[in-house]
């Protein structure tokens, strides 16, 4: 910055060379800093950013003039975190939504570090994995802000505020209540196949069209109806006819015992193979855990024989790394053991027959809401052409026949439009785009 350079070609060349060296030096510094911060996180230490709500930082040890800090539970904020999870699950009464929780906390005078609670802050609390003991470092690219691959994240164990089962229940409920999952008209509308029936020619949805004051009710290609025959030649089919065809086929053919047995004949073998793969992986993880324990014992032996001193910084770093690896291995072993215990794929002729009987009865005589909910569980798409083609995942059929049939959510779904198409803060179109503002 202070070096005087002229405007002659040699000075311009020198300026560019110096600039390139500066850029290289900056990139090298960034690389080393990132590597040091990742290593610090792997050893279980906090890197200096603001701790999550419910935690505080405290000194763990000193290495020369450097202070290593770890997260500790904040006795003032942690109870608020537990209250948020309890309110969402309805532990003390009716379950509350994210906005209702924020309103309740604000009415009671509780604050988020001096600020009022909002939907965003409550949602952030409900989805932060640190509360069940696992914090992830380096999840986003610092330059682009984009999420990195999960394999690149650095896992760090922190004190637990919420048990893992409670956290998993909250995540499942949040997923079921996601307002962008299904438009409300698809679930609560009177049309049985809305959202499932598609025009085989253009892929557009088949929507209800009425005529003669409601005497005629047909499924019609929505693209042809809104954009004309130049987009699709269009097709229509009476609503009662298509509903009857789909329900009768599902009830009398797909859910017939012999048909299900034929469709699922290879699924038990695949389930056995999947279980065998998990068991093999579990054995490998247990062997890895034994090896990790051996490495830890070797380090302690070196200290015992005097080849290393207890205050050796290298010893502390190595022990911390091995302990973190041991904890991660133990967590993966626990997860696999839980998956092996929870497997319930027992496809027998009796379970298949009972499942088919139940679904046939309910699809024919159940309410529209029930039939819509379960059709959406088993069907991905209904293509309407000169013939009707029904597509759906075999995993859903196998899960239902084995007794793992998920229940449709009783929550009222809603729909959030994708506004801010230009990624700015203005939801209105520009005058140049032909809006009413241009007139």
Range among 124-138, 223-237, 382-396 rated most confident = 124-138
Domain contains 217: yes
Quick check: is 367 in a domain? yes
Question: What pLDDT, on the 0 to 100 scale, is given for residue 221?
Answer: 83
pLDDT grade for 66, boundaries at 50, 70 and 90: confident
Compute how many other C-beta atoms are within 10 angstroms of the C-beta atom of residue 64: 6
> Residue 82 has what pLDDT?
94
If one compares 435 and 97, the residue with the highest pLDDT of the two is 97
284 and 258 in a single domain? The answer is no
Domain check: are 133 and 254 in the same one? no
Question: 194 and 258: one domain?
Answer: yes
* Domain shared by 260 and 374, yes or no: yes
> What pLDDT score was predicted for residue 167?
92
**Domain assignment of residue 124, yes or no:** yes
Same domain? For 250 and 374 the reply is yes
> How many other CB atoms are found less than 10 A from the CB of residue 161?
24
pLDDT at residue 125, rounded to an integer: 94
Residues 242 and 388 grouped into a single domain: yes
Residue 289 structural domain: 269-342
Tens digit of each residue's pLDDT (9 = 90 or more) over 10-62: 878 888 888 888 888 888 888 888 888 888 888 889 988 899 999 999 998 88
Task: Please count the structural domains in the chain.
Answer: 4
Residue 349's pLDDT is 67
Query: Picking from 65-79, 99-113, 301-315, 422-436, which range would have the lowest pLDDT averaged per residue?
Result: 422-436
The whole-number pLDDT of residue 409 equals: 46
Q: Does 159 share its domain with 241?
A: no
Q: Decide if 50 is inside a domain.
A: no
Give yes or no: residues 61 and 119 share one domain: yes
Average pLDDT for 388-398: 70
Does residue 439 have a pLDDT over 50? no
Cα 388 to Cα 247: distance, rounded to the nearest angstrom: 12
- Is 70 exceeded by the pLDDT of residue 284? yes
- Please tell me whether residues 253 and 323 are part of one structural domain: no
Span 95-101, average pLDDT: 88
For 148-167, the pLDDT digits (tens) are 888 888 888 999 999 988 99
Residue 430 lies in a domain: no
Chosen domain end from 137, 153, 176: 176
Q: How many CB atoms lie within 10 A of CB 180?
A: 11
pLDDT digits (tens, 9 = 90+) for 173-216: 888 777 665 555 555 556 777 778 888 888 788 888 777 666 77
For residues 94-117, average pLDDT: 90
Selected residue with higher pLDDT from 430 and 302: 302
Higher per-residue pLDDT: 272 or 367:
367
Confidence of residue 72 (pLDDT cuts 50, 70, 90): very high
CA–CA distance, 192 with 239 (Å, rounded to integer): 9
**Distance (Å, rounded) from C-alpha 225 to C-alpha 221?**
6
Residues 99 and 151 in one domain: yes
Least Cα distance to 207 among 240, 230, 181, 239 occurs for 239
Closest CA relative to residue 184, chosen from 369, 24, 385: 369
Q: Which two tokens stand for residue 333?
A: 């072993």
pTM of the predicted protein model? 0.44
Q: Which of 145-154, 348-357, 427-436 is predicted least confidently?
A: 427-436
* 334 vs 286: CA distance, rounded Å: 11
Residues 295 and 248 in one domain: no
Flag whether 417 is in a domain.
Answer: no
Q: Which helix (H) or strand (E) holds 238?
A: strand 236-238
| 408 within a domain of the structure (yes/no) | no
Least confident of 131-140, 319-328, 338-347: 338-347
Domain-located, residue 110: yes
147/66 same-domain check: yes
Task: Give the pLDDT mean for 227-240.
Answer: 74
């Amino acid at each position: 910055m202070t070096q005087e350079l002229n405007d002659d070609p040699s000075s311009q060349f020198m300026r560019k060379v110096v600039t390139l060296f500066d850029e290289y030096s900056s990139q090298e510094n960034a690389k080393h800093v990132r590597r040091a911060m990742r290593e610090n996180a792997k050893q279980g230490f906090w890197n200096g950013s603001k701790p999550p709500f419910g935690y505080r930082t405290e000194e763990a040890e000193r290495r020369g003039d450097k202070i290593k800090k770890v997260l500790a539970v904040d006795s003032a904020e942690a109870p608020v975190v537990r209250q948020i999870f309890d309110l969402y699950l309805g532990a003390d009464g009716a379950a509350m939504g994210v906005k209702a929780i924020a309103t309740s906390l604000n009415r009671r005078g509780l604050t988020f570090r001096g600020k009022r609670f909002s939907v965003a802050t409550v949602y952030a609390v409900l989805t932060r994995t640190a509360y069940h003991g696992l914090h992830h470092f380096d999840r986003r690219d610092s330059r682009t802000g984009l999420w990195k691959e999960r394999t690149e994240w650095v896992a760090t164990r922190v004190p637990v505020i919420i048990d893992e089962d409670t956290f998993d229940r909250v995540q499942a409920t949040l997923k079921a209540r996601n307002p962008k999952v299904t438009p409300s008209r698809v679930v609560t509308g009177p049309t049985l196949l809305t959202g499932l029936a598609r025009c085989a020619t253009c892929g557009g949805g088949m929507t209800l069209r009425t005529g003669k004051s409601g005497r005629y009710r047909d499924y019609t290609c929505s693209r042809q109806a809104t954009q004309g025959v130049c987009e699709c030649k269009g097709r229509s089919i009476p609503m009662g006819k298509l509903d009857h065809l789909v329900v009768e086929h599902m009830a009398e053919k797909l859910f017939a015992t012999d048909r299900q047995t034929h469709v699922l004949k290879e699924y038990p073998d695949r389930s056995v193979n999947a279980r065998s793969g998990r068991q093999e992986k579990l054995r490998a993880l247990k062997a890895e855990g034994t090896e990790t324990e051996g490495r830890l014992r070797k380090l302690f032996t070196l200290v015992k024989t005097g080849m290393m001193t207890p205050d050796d910084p290298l010893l502390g770093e190595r022990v911390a790394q091995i302990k973190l690896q041991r904890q991660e291995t133990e967590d993966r072993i626990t997860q696999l053991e839980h998956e092996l215990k929870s497997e319930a794929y027992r496809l027998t002729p009796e379970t298949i027959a009972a499942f088919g009987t139940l679904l046939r009865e309910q699809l024919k005589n159940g309410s529209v809401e029930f039939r819509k909910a379960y059709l959406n569980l088993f069907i991905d798409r209904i293509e309407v052409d000169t013939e009707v083609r029904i597509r759906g995942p075999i995993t859903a059929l196998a899960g239902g026949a084995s007794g793992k049939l998920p229940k449709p959510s009783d929550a009222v779904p809603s729909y959030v439009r994708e506004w801010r198409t230009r990624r700015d803060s203005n939801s209105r179109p520009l005058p140049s785009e032909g809006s009413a503002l241009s007139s």
